[in-house]
Structures are given as structure tokens and as C-alpha cells.
Structure 1
């Protein structure tokens, strides 16, 4: 597995760049992964990333896009729980890209 150096710490990622060990995640790791994904993190991005981490802690699964939009709409409101908003934040796939930045596994069903 590939190793990357982030803020003086070596972390292991899989061939697609997802963290192998979820415990390696922190803000520096998220910033690094976001930069790799060409995402400039804003407060709105962090809101989705933190939501995903809470969701994963509760359900032990990274949600696919349909589940993600419904869960975000329920918690953060319909203006944020829709595909248009989420794709503006994460243009290469909200579930896939946001989960990677959040240090979570690739959601099932994502190619």
C-alpha cells in the first residue's frame, strides 16, 4: 500500500487514496486529502465532512449518495440535503470525494 507524509506523519492509503487506518485521520490529513482532490475546504465542506464522520461513527458505514442527501436534508435542511448543493461542494461525487476527505472508506456502490 502507498504511504504519504502528512505534516510529518506517515499514513497509509489504498490505491485510490483512501485512508487504510481510519484512526490516522485529523484536520491535517483532511486538508491534505482535500488538496489532492482539488477541493478548497470552506465551512460548508467541513459541515459535510463532520456530518459524514458522525454518520460513520453511528452506523459503521459510509453512505452512498442517495442515503447521504436524505440524511443531510434531515439534519441540516433541504437547502443542503440535495444533489445540486453537494455536487457544488464536491464535484467529483459528494459521497466518494467527501468520504475520502473525511478519512472514511469508499462508499459501497461507488465506482
Structure 2
């Protein structure tokens, strides 16, 4: 599968995740977010940037339990909660946010 944005074709897997992580940029993230029905705010970008940093360090997309724990450590209990993250990403914070962040689909409990 693929989509075209500004004359460039981006390859995706069957679930819509980017195949080539280097293809990601904020414009691509905005397009994917739009397809997902997510209106990107500063709070959404905070999660996306956190996920990208996490992936760069650990080479894995975190499952939801780890995402919540690490967000809590970095941003405090208000943002490191299931309710907060689901409010931002109703289709599942780990799955939907990782897709928008251009990361592979998380494995395990998502």
C-alpha cells in the first residue's frame, strides 16, 4: 500500500504504518493524523516526539504500559495516564500515535 503527498509516494504496510522510517517528517505525520481523524495539537506532538525519541534510543515502539510509565516519568502523572493518552489518541495511544510518529506497529500488549 502507499499514499502520495506533494508528489512523493510513501510506502505503507497493510495497516498504514510507514515502511521506510526515514520517510517520516511533520508533513507526513499531519497527513497520517488527518487520515486517522486526529487533529494534531501541541499535546499530540509531545507524544509523537516522545515516541520518536524513545524509538531512537531503544529501537522499539513501546507498548501502552511502557508508554504510560515513561510519559509519567518525563511529564508527570497527569500526562502519564491511560485516560489522558486515550483522549488524545482514541484508537489506541500506542498504535495510533506510533503510526503518526512514523514508527513500526508496536508488538505485545497495545
> Which residue matches 1:34?
33
Structure 1 alignment gaps of length 5 or more: none
Residues 52 and 99 in structure 1, CA contact (< 8 A), matched pair in contact too = yes
Q: Aligned residues, how many?
A: 110
> How far does residue 7 in structure 1 lie from its aligned partner after superposition?
2.3
1:40-96 Cα distance to aligned partner (Å, 9 max, x none): 000000000000000000000000000000000001111100000000000010000
> How far does residue 109 in structure 1 lie from its aligned partner after superposition?
1.9
> How far does residue 110 in structure 1 lie from its aligned partner after superposition?
5.2
Distance 2:60 2:29 in 1: 18
Runs of 4+ in 1 over 4 A off after TM superposition: none
Q: Secondary structure at the match of 1:31?
A: helix
TM-score normalized by the length of structure 2: 0.97
Q: Secondary structure at the match of 1:5?
A: strand
Query: C-alpha root-mean-square deviation of aligned residues, in Å?
Result: 1.0
Structure 2 alignment gaps of length 5 or more: none
Distance 1:90 1:3 in 2: 23
Distance 2:27 2:6 in 1: 7
> Which residue matches 1:57?
56
> How far does residue 8 in structure 1 lie from its aligned partner after superposition?
2.0
